[in-house]
Chain A
């Protein structure tokens, strides 16, 4: 008998659930019969792009994932690396793009909640959050609403749950108008001998549900995240989940309390596709069967069907397999924290997922084919055509250095983000050494130890559009550089691959090329990928976002007191490390001053990156370098202005080399460069020469003004006023 709201299962319904004809045929073959409504739901979410990575898996395999310090690479809930002192850092970045456009506050908030769970489910106490955000054109009225909602959502969740938000990045581009990117990253710390995994084991062991009750929210969220957007996206609001950071906080404390015992055999959070994916993945990884009885699932609403229980994406829920003799002790912990605790099934030796509800067998699916025969596509690719290298001498400088600097420091992509950071609690926990904006990477101390972690997120999407392979490499090297610039030893990355519709060969070509570039950079820098997330179908009405492989980087400082920031102290020499051709192609100067978005982006030389970075890091750790800033968006002059503004101190700049046009030297975005502030430039220049590292003394700090080589002068106060104007004027003005 068909239940209310349930329909006959056929090709038509399968198609509405996002399964292709060929995929539905495979479901029929696996089942040997027409699946039930609930079974079709399970197949459709497990085989959605979001859960199965069916378009991206073949490419992701190319990424380097191993180094001696990697404890767990991709495949677990998050990546795990050894950071010394018997500790592991556990981290991952994950997208919540589609929900954040439909309902910005809840979309962003639940994005933070979801990534926190991926980390604490492995036994880590979360110690830092970051977020990489991309928004549409600020002149589009929708953008303002989305920025406001996303920032409030990130703050609303992270502040309440008590994990400091220490860093991240924001870009604007019209390509994100209908499809903002919200990529949230969490970093946690665990003892490396107490890492919890998701593979279920022990036939007869209880399967336990903890956390919030299940409601009808977020049903088919994973499927929604696997298609592009159309004008009716507003109608998809019911597929967005609602977050409760208070419950999440209790869940963190209760899980960590339970994890201090020996009760847990396996644990996984209920993220995308909720109870379905957590039960299927845990049983699948463990090679066991799982029998669920939905009558025992804590429900927020009455009359929910098996289909709704299995596909709900209600937040703040976890699934665990416990040792039977520890079940009541575990119940006591969750009752202390006023959280639901329910035994909703057991592990079996059948190799099948069975779902009972109201005395009826609603689903009975063999797990091996559900996992192993998940679709896998090698989709056709078309390479992005190479763009022409621009000759800077042929690009006229109509504005001069001072004028261009004033425009650049005030533009949306380069202006101060203080308005955003000031809404995020960056200090809770009492371990934040470098707060947002204080350094190229955030730095957090490990409680009771000398050690600290450096954290960053990076990607330059305009480079990725122009040359996805170079852009992929550049995102990785910039993360490596930002960690290096605080003195950290870069260890590993998490990647968040945001792209358009993979069924279009141009888009798949971008994806494949970005992976190639990332893989080469990861290999050359010994900077492996340990976790990640893929978000495809980031399109609205057929228009794709800029390809955005966002990189979350993690590094370690053995002695965190050695970390340096970018604030420039007075009376120091400023030295530029790295060579400058004056690369204007795809630079922000070209876009903001010349009004062009063309040319090839600056090339990345991985050997030079490594050599220059290692030179800088050594001199940060031996105390020579007092402030450091990598040169990226906006080029050298913007980087100097940022150091001056952060330090509240002026700089007198030297003349630039004669062989590069002035505007190209000061605003070009050549890679592998750092600005370092040192008391005695002569000895640093000698050391650089010996090591074969290009180094140029470029100015001296002091006073209150930035004095340019062309005679232009601007006070640091004026720069600051320009720099800080955009966000408050736009959002609160």
Chain B
């Protein structure tokens, strides 16, 4: 799968993401400046983590109006794959490519620590290398990761199987203590209805090498590389 990473001003995990993608695919992804308007023949567009435009105004709000986003919308409507992590997830919600919003963490503090995510389904291009119900570790590093949507939207996400990952304890169970940022229904990541757009808060790209503490995030990139 041919991948590209969008670089907005203030993004800071584009290098981590490039390392993870190259680690699994053998190919360095294309880096796309946010003022570019042509995504070419990319199969996968990645919106990485960071603080696009300083997260001033509202996380992801300004990035959602960058010139590149028209092409990202076109890519989505053509059925292209999109992965948004952390700030990238926030941008996807601001751009209406995914529903809901990311609010301040319930603790009102930045949270930087490992968390456990449960894979809710594996019949997607992103999750095919995980087992359904399996849990994996990922690094969370955000101040605004508290997923919020109205009840009807949450119900729809659940009914249509669009919840990708939930925060769980290491045994794989949902509990308030494991839902560190206070997300609605412990939701850590969601899919678009065609399951080709994935947004999640924690960073699988920071656990793809045993030296950095584990390879829990690698199956996601292996799956994308193989697709």
Contacts and interface: CB of A to CB of B under 8 A. Distances in A.
Contact of A425 (B56, B109, B141, B212): B141
Given A246-B10, A246-B53, A338-B9, A430 B15 contact: yes
A162 B209 CA distance: 20
A427 B16 CA distance: 9
A427 B110 contact: no
Interface string A242-271: 001111011000000000000000000000
A423 B109 contact: yes
Contacts of A424: 110, 112
Contact of A250 (B10, B107, B206): B10
A152 B10 CA distance: 19
Contacts of B203: 427
A167 to B, nearest CB: 14
Interface in A129-175: 152, 155-156, 159-162
Interface in A551-586: 560-561
B139 interface: yes
A697 interface: no
B170 to A, nearest CB: 12
Given A249-B51, A423-B110, A159 B212 contact: no
B213 A435 contact: yes
A421 B112 contact: yes
Contacts of A447: 15, 19
A561 B211 contact: yes
Contacts of B56: 246
Given A337-B9, A427-B206, A445-B211, A246 B112 contact: no
Interface in A419-458: 421-433, 435, 445, 447
Contacts of B109: 152, 422-423
Contacts of A428: 12-13, 16, 49, 141, 206
Interface residues of A, number: 34
B111 A246 contact: no
A660 to B, nearest CB: 39
B54 A244 contact: yes
Contacts of A431: 212
A287 B24 CA distance: 53
The interface centre, meaning the residue of A155, A161, A430 with most chain B CB atoms within 10 A of its CB, is A430
Interface residues of B, number: 32
Nearest to A165: B112
Interface string B105-135: 0010111110000000000000000000000
Given A246-B53, A425-B141, A162 B112 contact: no
A247 B13 CA distance: 17
B43 interface: no
A160 B112 contact: no
Contacts of A429: 15-16
A245 B15 contact: no
Nearest to B11: A162
Nearest to B207: A427
Contacts of A425: 110, 112, 141
A541 interface: no
Given A160-B10, A427-B139, A430-B205, A245 B54 contact: yes
A396 interface: no
28 contacts: A152-B110, A159-B143, A160-B10, A162-B50, A244-B54, A246-B9, A246-B51, A246-B55, A250-B9, A250-B10, A338-B9, A422-B109, A422-B111, A424-B112, A425-B112, A427-B139, A427-B212, A428-B12, A428-B16, A428-B206, A430-B13, A430-B16, A430-B206, A433-B211, A445-B211, A445-B212, A447-B15, A447-B19
Given A160-B12, A422-B109, A447-B15, 15 more contacts: A152-B110, A159-B143, A162-B12, A246-B56, A247-B54, A249-B10, A249-B12, A250-B10, A422-B111, A425-B110, A427-B16, A428-B12, A428-B13, A435-B213, A445-B211
